[in-house]
Copies of this chain bind each other. A is one copy, B any other.
């Protein structure tokens, strides 16, 4: 299981350091910045699994960062937890309405933030929390690195496994070839776009079980998705 990538946007150095320490201790892969614009750049370059965003930061404001993350295709679905010192309900609601998934009011204990991060990740990316994912009749166990369909064990290469896992984390959602390259092969991989097709085909072949239908949907001129069949 690869570590979950967190992006922490916090301009109080001591708090940032404390949180970074705690999260790394929990096995997360943490990057930190104090600046909103930096945060956006970092998020675009390497899409994190979750963003922890202080409402009051230098440069671009927290809510603006949130809005922009939501606007970009690649980061639109990254969960965001906002840190806010405000008691004001309007701000909390506005944060949630802007697209934040959760907020936590300062002062908070690191432990509670950890619990929230874990809860959000579990909801969004069960595989990161070590839980198995199920889509239709396909079950993927990230801990055992096993895939089963209708009780039968499936055999596939490492790339097909990662591709399947990536797709299963967002069932039904269509990913472009570029998104798949970023998500499965890693940002900045220098791979031919069409190579994705080939791996999709290998994946299709790997999940073939007697009379079961193909769970991989091709969306012409858009990409691929996996769905319950």
Contacts and interface: CB of A to CB of B under 8 A. Distances in A.
Contacts of A222: 145, 158
Interface in A26-40: none
A112 interface: yes
Interface in A149-172: 157-158, 172
Given A172-B143, A220-B157, A89 B112 contact: yes
A172 to B, nearest CB: 4
Nearest to A131: B76
A219 B222 CA distance: 31
A164 to B, nearest CB: 14
Given A102-B102, A111-B89, A111-B93, A219 B145 contact: yes
A172 B120 CA distance: 17
A120 B119 CA distance: 11
A93 B112 contact: yes
A125 B155 CA distance: 30
Contacts of A2: none
A123 interface: yes
A118 B100 CA distance: 11
B158 A172 contact: no
Nearest to A161: B222
Interface string A23-67: 000000000000000000000000000000000000000000000
Nearest to A174: B145
Interface in A102-118: 102, 109, 111-112, 115-116, 118
Interface of A: 79, 89, 92-93, 96-97, 99-102, 109, 111-112, 115-116, 118-120, 122-124, 143-146, 157-158, 172-174, 219-222, 225
